[in-house]
Amino acid sequence: MHRSIWTYPWDIQDQGVETFVNEIKERAGLNAVSLATSYHAGRFLQPRSPTQKAYFPEDGTVYFQIDEALWADKEIQPLVSSNLTDRGDMLKALVEGRGETGLKVSCWTVCLHNSRLGILHPEHVTRNAFGNANFYNLCPSSPAARDYVLTLVKDISTNYKPDMLELESPNFMGFAHEYHHEKDGVGLNAEDDFLLSLCFCKHCTARALNAGVPVDGARLTVSRYIAELCERAVPVVQFPNFPQEGIDAFREHPELHAFLQWRMEPVTSLIGEIKASADPSTRIVLIDLKDGWLGGVDLPAVAKLCDGAILCCYDASPDAVADVIETGRVALGPDKFLGVGLRVFYPEVDGPAILEARVKAAIDAGAEGINFYNYGLIPAPRLDWVREAVGSL
């Protein structure tokens, strides 16, 4: 059973490798670590660190030593974090220490969520029906953005050979996704957020037109709904079957419906190309949510192209966790890796019992791996809760 915990390089550096390994294996009962190897900006309260209680990581950087030859002719270039130059290559230390520590190493790799690169390359970000840029989301239809992600994964898997590489955000992102100081005085509902997230950039437009998709009609429909939602005194639900029916909630708008069917193609093909470019010794899995179609993820199609998925059920009830994993197992088939992502945040987790119930529900429903979120962000006593939750596995 794969049992891992997501963490950042500075978490391990602040604790020391020996302390970290002992806590993960002995205190938490885990056998793997999922280390951030590319990540976005944030503000983290760090209860574990003896010196950095509040931490602001650099935006859109990578935490491994890049292979300059692989990146020589790339339009979009990664930036190596100062953490690596100042404090050392934690990924290298973990990979080279696998024989001694017994911990498998997975690379938690943020793909297209990158505000720093989006601002540097505005021609390669997603754009709404009005042409406004979402700087936090490189577009999966952009050739340069796709090349960036392919090279990122190839570099990590070829030069470090981790056991697994976890793809976060190789897809379209929602409109509301914790960009700095987001403002919404309208009170967007779920369908409003989805409509604002739909991308009509030049790359999506060209790719859709090439596939025979009526993208211009879809854009007109979406822009009209966005304009109308901005004119109402209070929000109104116009698609009562959203999101339960998926894209079929929009079936009365044939051009938009056709566009939403096509929208999964850039994501599916990108994940397939990622897998093909990666070193075969590294398993490639997708990190996703229950309704991955919102971001253009077709899980059954993706399952044919990569090695599996980790489905996040952070604050779900045990019954809901079971439903997600059962559905995921059907989509992935019997032979692909299926993990569950669980958060150890208060108050959604107020003790070991609820965490253990979620773990049991996931395993009984067909999960073969568990990832906990997040080592450096939770107080040390909650590692005991993790141990209790996995103790019966």
φ, ψ (nearest 5 deg) of residue 338:
-135, 115
CATH label of the domain that carries residue 382:
3.20.20.80
Asked if residue 255 belongs to a domain, the reply is no
pLDDT at 181 (0 to 100): 81
pTM (whole model) above 0.75 = yes
Helices 215-229 and 202-210, axial angle in degrees (round to 10): 140
**pLDDT value of residue 180:** 75
> Binning pLDDT at 50, 70 and 90, where does residue 93 land?
very high
Decide if pLDDT at 177 tops 80.
Answer: no
Q: Is the pLDDT of residue 88 over 90?
A: yes
Beta strands in 245-383 (DSSP E): 283-288, 308-312, 337-343, 369-373
Residue 156 inside a domain? The answer is: no
The verdict on residue 138 lying in a domain is no
Q: Are 186 and 229 in contact (CB under 8 A)?
A: yes
The H-or-E segment that residue 376 falls in is: none
Phi, psi values for residue 290, rounded to 5°:
-55, -50
Classify residue 253: in a domain, yes or no. Answer: no
Distance of CA 377 to the CA centre of its chain: 18
With respect to residue 126, please indicate whether it lies within any of the assigned structural domains. no
Opening angle at CA 328, ends 161 and 160, nearest 5 = 5
Per-residue pLDDT of 157-174, as tens digits, reads 999 999 999 999 999 999
Does some domain include residue 187? no
The residue segments making up the domain with residue 351 are 2-112+162-171+281-390
Does residue 70 fall inside a structural domain?
yes
Q: 75 and 121 in contact (C-beta within 8 Å)? A: yes
- pLDDT digits over 3-62, tens only? 999 999 999 999 999 999 999 999 999 999 999 999 999 999 999 999 999 999 999 999
**Residue 148: inside a domain, yes or no?**
no
Nearest CA to 112 out of 5, 267, 280 is that of: 267
- Cβ-based neighbour number of residue 57 at 10 Å: 19
pLDDT of residue 182: 84
User: How does pLDDT run across 330-366, given as a tens digit for each residue?
Assistant: 999 999 999 999 999 999 999 999 999 999 999 999 9
Q: Dihedral through CA 137, CA 139, CA 143, CA 147, nearest 10?
A: 40
Residue 62 contacts residue 79 (beta carbons within 8 Å): yes
Identify the band that residue 178 occupies on the pLDDT scale cut at 50, 70 and 90: low
Pick the closest to residue 74 from 109, 37, 124 (CA basis).
Answer: 124
Q: How many domains does the chain contain in total? A: 1
